Amino acid sequence: MIGNDCCGATAQRTGKVVDSLVGLDVLLYDGTRLVVGETSEQVDADIVGSGGHRAEIYRQLRLPCDTCAENRFHVARALVGSEGTCVSVLRGIRR
């Protein structure tokens, strides 16, 4: 299950979803489809520099990371646990 960060009976064997998640294929409220995951500073700068809707989303998502001094920007892991309130998850990408 990708919609939340399950810690049920199978989590004892396989671990929490967030621990094995590489990325998510998501659909936004306006129909924008994105594949999100860990983003290096260079890739993040390229996305934001390209402009458009995707750039604005990444710029706004980056603010909490910058404020909290997070050293890794991983959009997919940030979305785990939102249970569909932020995006519709189409597919989870696990290692």
Give the pLDDT confidence of 38-77 residue by residue, as tens digits. 888 888 889 989 998 889 888 887 777 777 756 677 888 8
pTM of the model: 0.70
- DSSP symbols for 41-77: HHHHHHHHHH-HHHHHHHHHHHHHHHHTT-S-EEHHH
Place of tokens 């995707």: 54
Between 84 and 45, the higher pLDDT residue: 45
Task: Give the span between the Cα atoms of 80 and 71, in whole angstroms.
Answer: 18
Predicted pLDDT of residue 3: 47
Place of tokens 């860990």: 38
Tell me the pLDDT tens digit for each residue of 13-26. Answer: 667 777 778 899 99
